[in-house]
Chain A
Amino acid sequence: MDATLTGNQAASAMAVARKPTGRLSDPIFVGVLWASGIFVLILLGLIIAMLFEGGLPALREFGIQFLWSTTWNPVTEKFGAGVMVFGTIFSAVIAVIIALPLSFGIAFFLTEIAPGPLRRPIGVAIQLLAAIPSIIYGMWGFFVIVPLMAAYVQPPLIDLLGPLPVIGALFQGPPLGAGMLTAGLIMAIMILPFITAMFVEVLESVPPMIKESAYGVGATTYEVYRNVSVPYGRTAMVGAVMLGLGRALGETMAVTFVIGNATRMSASLFAPGSTIASTIANEFPEAGPGSLKLQSLLELGFILFVISFIVLALSRLLVRSKLKG
């Protein structure tokens, strides 16, 4: 065959080269990509709008006091969010207080102590705690932990700490097993893997140079962890804790099983209580469409959304700022 192209062939080859194959398909494809991105934005907007609109009648009926009123009486149709808001924050804070030292210890173990080949398997096993569905924690808590708490943990604590002034208030009431402390305990196990994983990620991003400098002047492993690694990642670690808090605030099924579901306010760790999420799950079946109770539950949902949105947004800002910078 000819080594040179005929004029015709060259022209058609050039036409192929010049013709942009994506002239029509590209804008469509890019449009779909953008649309999916915007869709996620709209989704969040819709969630906020739907919860706000659904709860608005309750807010109109009870006024702004709905936010802190501690009445929750389906018979007289008087509703207020006070008990649930308190329970939500109280139980979530208990969870964080229990999970935090554990996470610090486990992160130290995973980054500094564990022998190389063991790190991944142990890390993964701890992460599996996060994969177990919430309802399984609820059942396990209800059938295993609640009886243990009632028999072995709460009675001695009540006898020992109950009579003390001030902090005694935390240890009052009968040892029912179910209650704030049990809910916080179960949630602590659930959020532990999230906090630990982010701690490990942050700690691994600490430049080896500054750790080695500390070792070089004779610091022990713990001193390097405490005085170099943790301060270096502090911002992101606070973010990690906030993420755990955010998760605990909205936890539903596990809490519903173990918190006792009482709509009374009590400062005691052992008193049954309720969170926003557990109240919604529990009382929804008895709330007819269009009823004031349903509207109050939707308003509770809106309040929960606002609280967790603020906590999660803050967490993300803290985590991203550090990991990026």
Chain B
Amino acid sequence: MSSLARRRATDYTVKVISVAFAAFALLLLAWILWTLVVRGLPAIGPHVFTRITLPPGAGGGLLNAIVGSLIQIGIALVIGTPIGLMCGTFLAEHGKTTPVGNAVRFVNDVLLSAPSILIGLFVYQLLVMPFGGFSGWAGAAALAVIIIPVVVRTTEDMLNLVPIGLREAAFALGAPQWKVVTLITWRAARAGIVTGILLAIARAAGETAPLLFTSLGNNGWSLDMNAPMASLPIAIYQYAASPFEDWVALAWAGALLITVGVLTLNILSRLVLAKMK
């Protein structure tokens, strides 16, 4: 075989292998989704949304877990979004090349990938131990720590896409900086910033580890933020490992709900981003 033929053969083989790898990755995604649909869909019924978690065999649902998750994510957003937005704005408008800006950007990147279970431990030490117990507040705080770096990152990226000329035009008209940022730059980057928030919601919705030692989970109906609070991921975690068939079925139903929600948010935000660029 000539050297050229051998090189062509290698090229061809590698191409075939990489196509196979890509197909394999897509297959994995399909496999996971298929498993969720096959096991989760039959378990979904009105009871999942109308009844709270009950002992095995009592026909319970996930209502308290869903509501608990929504409350904790909602409060985490209220805490985390303004801080993330402001910090992202700081990086884009004031911290491009300054040492403080670089330090904040570095720390934010670390927080973005830091093990989420450590965030749970941290909030346990900060809010659970000193204030005498697991609480919805602690869960929301832990999720806020998850949300902040996501919002910071996307906000900065999106603000960097806004043309400098737009800012200069506003400054030339004598607008003070806060007006330039809030009325011009934020507005120009609005879709992108919202995308970041959607991504942050998606991230927080699936997080289990930070809630284990903060809001703990609750099998009763409770809206008290000072008491342990149920959440969907924790309920799934408890139920999936249980020996009761109806609990495992509920865990699959919950898993399907979370995954559909998270993937929808992700696809939505990617569509918005694609439009912007």
Q: Residues of A at under 8 Å CB distance from B?
A: 17, 20-23, 25-26, 28-30, 32-41, 43-44, 46-47, 50-51, 53-54, 101-102, 104-106, 108-110, 113-114, 120, 122, 124-129, 131-140, 142-144, 189, 192, 196, 220-223, 243, 246-247, 249-253, 257, 277, 280-281, 284, 289, 297-298, 301, 304-305, 308-309, 312-313, 316
Residues of A near B73 (CB, < 8 A) are none
Contact with A along B146-179 (1 / 0, CB 8 A): 0011001000000000000000000000111111
B53-85 interface with A by 8 A CB criterion = 82-84
User: Given A36-B87, A41-B104 in contact, is the A113-B117 Cβ separation under 8 Å?
Assistant: no
CB distance from A251 to the nearest CB of B (A): 7
CA gap between A126 and B240 in the complex, in Å? 26
Contact A135 B208 (CB under 8 A): yes
Interface range on chain B (Cβ under 8 Å from partner): 35 or more
Find the B residue at minimum CB distance from A247.
B113
CA gap between A301 and B117 in the complex, in Å? 8
CB distance from B68 to the nearest CB of A (A): 15
CB < 8 Å neighbour of A102 from B21, B106, B270: B21
Tell yes or no: B220 within 8 A of A by CB: no
CA gap between A80 and B14 in the complex, in Å? 46
B17-43 interface with A by 8 A CB criterion = 17-22, 24-26, 28-29, 31-32, 35-36, 39
CA gap between A126 and B25 in the complex, in Å? 7
Report the stretch among B44-52, B188-196, B221-229, B254-262 that lies at the interface: B254-262
Contact A106 B18 (CB under 8 A): yes
Find the B residue at minimum CB distance from A221.
B11
User: Given A105-B18, A106-B18, A125-B29 in contact, is the A280-B117 Cβ separation under 8 Å?
Assistant: yes
Contact B25 A102 (CB under 8 A): yes
Residues of B near A305 (CB, < 8 A) are 114-115, 118
Residues of B near A312 (CB, < 8 A) are 109-110, 113-114
Contact A133 B208 (CB under 8 A): yes
Contact A46 B126 (CB under 8 A): yes
Q: Residues of B at under 8 Å CB distance from A?
A: 7-8, 10-11, 14-15, 17-22, 24-26, 28-29, 31-32, 35-36, 39, 82-84, 86-87, 89-91, 93-95, 100-101, 103-104, 106-111, 113-119, 121-122, 125-126, 129, 145, 148-149, 152, 174-179, 181, 202, 205-209, 212-213, 233, 236-237, 240-241, 251-252, 255, 258-259, 262-263, 266-267, 270, 274
Contact A142 B15 (CB under 8 A): no
CA gap between A251 and B176 in the complex, in Å? 45
User: Given A37-B104, A132-B32 in contact, is the A106-B21 Cβ separation under 8 Å?
Assistant: yes
Residues of A near B122 (CB, < 8 A) are 46-47, 50-51
Contact A43 B148 (CB under 8 A): yes
Residues of B near A192 (CB, < 8 A) are 25
Contact B252 A301 (CB under 8 A): no
Contact A129 B28 (CB under 8 A): yes
CB < 8 Å neighbour of A298 from B125, B177, B263: B125
Residues of B near A132 (CB, < 8 A) are 32, 206, 259, 262-263
Residues of A near B152 (CB, < 8 A) are 40
* Top 7 A-B residue pairs of the complex, sorted by shortest distance between their CB atoms: A22-B176, A250-B115, A133-B206, A105-B21, A36-B86, A29-B178, A105-B18
The contact sample of 9 A-B pairs, CB cut-off 8 A, is A21-B179, A23-B176, A26-B176, A44-B110, A125-B25, A126-B22, A127-B266, A134-B116, A304-B115
Of A37, A222, A280, A304, most B-chain CB atoms within 10 Å: A37
Contact B174 A17 (CB under 8 A): yes
Residues of B near A284 (CB, < 8 A) are 212-213
Contact B32 A140 (CB under 8 A): yes
User: Given A132-B263, A223-B7, A304-B118 in contact, is the A26-B258 Cβ separation under 8 Å?
Assistant: no
Contact B15 A221 (CB under 8 A): yes
CB < 8 Å neighbour of B115 from A30, A102, A108, A249: A249
Residues of A near B113 (CB, < 8 A) are 243, 246-247, 250, 308, 312
Residues of A near B236 (CB, < 8 A) are 135, 139
CA gap between A51 and B145 in the complex, in Å? 15
CB < 8 Å neighbour of B266 from A51, A101, A104, A128: A128
CB distance from A228 to the nearest CB of B (A): 14
| Apart from A38-B100, A139-B251, 9 more pairs, CB < 8 Å | A22-B178, A26-B178, A40-B107, A105-B18, A125-B29, A132-B206, A137-B32, A142-B240, A253-B233
CB distance from B238 to the nearest CB of A (A): 11
CA gap between A308 and B117 in the complex, in Å? 12
CA gap between A30 and B95 in the complex, in Å? 11
User: Given A106-B25, A124-B270, A284-B212 in contact, is the A33-B104 Cβ separation under 8 Å?
Assistant: no
CA gap between A29 and B267 in the complex, in Å? 34
Find the B residue at minimum CB distance from A220.
B11
CA gap between A126 and B101 in the complex, in Å? 32
CB distance from A31 to the nearest CB of B (A): 10
CB < 8 Å neighbour of B262 from A39, A43, A133: A133
Residues of B near A20 (CB, < 8 A) are 174, 176
Contact B87 A40 (CB under 8 A): yes
Contact B29 A129 (CB under 8 A): yes
Of A26, A39, A132, most B-chain CB atoms within 10 Å: A132
